[in-house]
Amino acid sequence: MGLLRDDTWVPELWTLFGVGEFILLSRVGLRCWLQGLHRPAAEDWVSLLIPVFYTVCAAGCYLVYIYGNKVDFTQAEINALTDEEARRLIIGTKWELVLAYSYPTVLWLLKASLLLLYWRLTSGLGRHRLLVLLIAVICLLTYLGVILSMSLACIPFRRFWEIKPLPPINCIQPPNIFIALAVSNVL
């Protein structure tokens, strides 16, 4: 199959990134304008991390596009690669792994920011606050479950970016990661 280059999506990637960053940073800026910098709430600190991981996601998508990914190749095509091409493919595959961790991190940081806001809003409301705490524990456990399912999908871990020979499918495109992410994100 090899690497087919279709760069029509690249402007869309950076446009969506710009819109997303504008929204995320507007929230932080608005909070600073309304509250000042002297007493930021807990969700404000979490909200500062979201644009960082969102940037990693956008840049990582572009770098995987530039360097390639072993999902795009058969073993015969990989064997025909020069050492430089193989090195670039390994870099792209490592970036894909970074994306596999940064995407759920963005999602769960957004959840954490909202839960911290709800925690602050339910101050003095005993049962409601207990519900927020319960949901926060569930969110933390589902995040840990997603991270563990990704980390343990391919043992030893270095096989995630191994290309010669191609590792088994659970080290190339582990289906359990998508299932774990989809199910736990709905919770």
pLDDT, tens digit, 9 for 90 and up, residues 111-120: 999 999 999 9
* DSSP sequence for 135-165: HHHHHHHHHHHHHHHHHTSSSSGGGGS--SS
* Entry pTM: 0.86
Closest CA to 111 of 60, 162, 59, 46: 46
CA separation for the pair 21, 55 (Å, rounded): 8
Which of the listed ranges 19-23, 71-75, 169-173, 181-185 does the model predict with the highest average pLDDT? 19-23
With beta carbons less than 8 A apart as the criterion, state whether 171 and 152 touch: no
The structural domains of the chain, with segments of one domain joined by +, span: 7-186
175 has pLDDT over 80: no
